[in-house]
Structure 1
Amino acid sequence: MAVAPPQPTPTAEIQVGERVRALREAMGLSLRGLAERSGVSAQMLSQVERGETSPTLAVAARIAAGLELTLSQLLRLDEGGAVTVVRAADRLRGGATGRGHRYDVLTPPLPGQRAEVSLHTLEPGAATGGAGDPPIHEPGARETAVVAAGELTLVCDGVAHRLAEGDAVTFDADLPHHFENDSGADARFYAIVAAGLRRS
């Protein structure tokens, strides 16, 4: 007798959706960009991120591939006690293969979490995006970037800001923006994105 698999709870759907959104934003991808990489429609991705639907395993596998993760990495859910430790070996890793951009997500996508921290590495000549890319963060979001090593340039709303090791910059993350490394060495920076902080 065939046994139907257990249905995911609403909480599980929300956790998966938050994980997808956190990873997508850490990669600097819009919904449309992830749709192109995964073959899953932007509408479906939006529903998954909002916890309105639970993806089938086939769809989840395509989303994971678009995020350059395994299915098990994407679907791993954190229980979320008072303290959650993310070991270095257990970080969610991704990036644009062949484009010189790699990242680690340092914060687990816990229910209700309104901030995310990621560590990015840009190889010489690489960028997290480009001019004309649409904003990827929700209205009111703010981002702080801290340069851990090397030099890079933040291009925010068409204006370039040169940053050196140790520099930090805070900006409205719902504006079009990306980071570029036009130096001759790798650049590493931390990105901290917090939702809904900007005052109207």
Structure 2
Amino acid sequence: MTLDIGTRLRAVREARGLSQRELASRAGLTNGTISMIEQNKTSPSVASLKSLLDALPMPLSDFFADVEERSAPKYFYAPDEFTELSPQEAGFGDGAARVSLRQLGNASSHTIQMLHEVYPPGADTGPEMLRHAGEEAGVVIAGIVEVTVADQVRVLNPGDGYLFDSNLPHRFRNIGAGDCVIVSACTPPTF
């Protein structure tokens, strides 16, 4: 799924009755930054977009939610049916643009959010630490990743995992020479 971030952000902001100035103040950004994002002239990192959505408030999973209606429950998903929550297909910029965070199904309809994450060499979640309600856990499938949670930093290899309170500041960064692949879950779906 490809999404026009600027148009979507403007629609969500306006639906909540906020001006660009009010959203900028809540998110700790400038009014000009909000304007540039809404015009698709600049792209936020994953962490910056998360800060903007926290100011609305809206989980990242809802921002990218598939609004398509289904007559029958859907239990199985092919790879092309995952929803891309990350910069790779959404058009964000620089280093974060290479991260792929693919969500299984519509997390806003469930109590768990499952992600298939791919971090190419040097890619990370952005310079700002992420924070959101809930807990998250994951297992490294391939490659290596440096994970920072609060004041702890650890390099994880294939087979290693993590589990932490997502309210703690955290960040993921591939410090290896190849892609890092992680399968993760967040509950409730607040990312």
Aligned residues: 141
The verdict on how the C-alpha distance between 1:38 and 1:190 changes in structure 2, with shifts beyond 3 A counting, is farther
Q: By how many angstroms is 1:80 displaced? A: 7.6
Give the letter for the 2:83 counterpart. L
Matched, 1:161 2:154: yes
Q: By how many angstroms is 1:108 displaced? A: 1.9
Structure 1: distance between partners of 2:188 and 2:156: 24
Matched, 1:124 2:121: yes
Q: By how many angstroms is 1:169 displaced? A: 1.0
Q: 1:147 aligns with which of 140, 143, 161?
A: 140
Q: By how many angstroms is 1:88 displaced? A: 1.5
| Residue pair 1:80, 1:110 contacting (<8 A) in 2 also | no
More displaced, 93-102 or 146-155? 93-102
| Residue pair 2:137, 2:185 contacting (<8 A) in 1 also | yes
The verdict on how the C-alpha distance between 1:82 and 1:195 changes in structure 2, with shifts beyond 3 A counting, is same
Q: Give the TM-score normalised by structure 2.
A: 0.59
More displaced, 141-150 or 36-45? 36-45
Aligned to 2:107: 109
Q: Secondary structure of 2:154's partner?
A: strand
Q: By how many angstroms is 1:163 displaced? A: 0.5
Give the letter for the 2:100 counterpart. R
Per-residue CA deviation, residues 55-108 of structure 1 (Å, 9 max, x unaligned), is: xxxxxxxx9xxx7x7xxxx55334385543222122112422442211211132
Q: Secondary structure of 2:107's partner?
A: coil
Matched, 1:85 2:76: yes
Structure 1: distance between partners of 2:171 and 2:162: 13
- Listed as ranges, the gaps of 5+ residues in structure 2 are 1-11, 13-25, 40-50
Q: Secondary structure of 1:76's partner?
A: coil
The verdict on how the C-alpha distance between 1:154 and 1:145 changes in structure 2, with shifts beyond 3 A counting, is same
Give the letter for the 2:38 counterpart. G
Q: Give the TM-score normalised by structure 1.
A: 0.57
RMSD of Structure 2 on Structure 1 (CA)? 3.7
In the TM superposition, what are the counterparts of 1:61-72 in structure 2 within 5 Å?
Answer: none
